[in-house]
Structure 1
Amino acid sequence: MVEKLSKKELVKQGSTISPTIHVGKEGVSEGVIEEIKTQIKRSKLIKVKVLPAAGEDIRDVASELAKLAEVKCVETRGFTILLCDPKIAEN
């Protein structure tokens, strides 16, 4: 059984990792969604960097990524989104 982690624990773990996916001027594309799904399966916790060229609000991008990739948005900070596998996050 997988141990559930609190938001505080997830943010603490997330502070040690670097963004591995960048959302650019094309915005949220199918390729970005597939890459998020692949990386979440492998590492359970990832960071996504939204470049200013995307021209979208960070919260809108975060909710769209979470919905389409079926992951949980842990936190948005600046231009960075922390996503995790919903199986490891407390509700």
Structure 2
Amino acid sequence: MLNGKNRSYLRSQANKLNPVIHVGKEGVTDAVIEQLDQALEDHELLKVRILESVGRSTRSCAEELATATAAEVVQVIGGIAVLFRQRDEDSNYKLKK
């Protein structure tokens, strides 16, 4: 679970990122979850664009993606969600306990 300072730090780091994963009208599918899982392994912190055509709120889609990939939702603004999953070893982000 992320605390406020860590969440703030990750938001600042995500500011310069572009969305890596796009969730389209099909919604959250197994293929999207597989891509997201691999992207989280590679990058740890990433943005996900969730289109309005999904028919659900961005927050609920982000929560579903986070649960399916054991990640944390850092922030949701508009159609963009920021997700984070820290590597056990060799992490790029040093979070405070």
Shared fold per TM-score greater than 0.5: yes
Question: What is the root-mean-square deviation of aligned Cα atoms in Å?
Answer: 1.7
Gaps of 5+ in 2: 88-92
Q: Which residue type is aligned with residue 80 of structure 1?
A: I
- Aligned residue pairs: how many? 87
Q: Give percent identity, aligned residues only.
A: 31
Q: Distance in 2 between matches of 1:47 and 1:11?
A: 10
- Residue of structure 2 in register with 1:17 after alignment: 17
Gaps of 5+ in 1: none
TM-score (norm 1): 0.87
Structure 1 ranges of 4+ moved more than 4 A: 86-91
Answer yes or no: is the 8 Å Cα contact 1:7–1:90 preserved in 2. no
Q: What is the CA deviation profile of residues 49-86 of structure 1, one whole-angstrom value per residue up to 9, with x for unaligned ones?
A: 00111111111101101101111111100100000114
Report which structure shows greater RCO (CA 8 Å, sep ≥6). 1
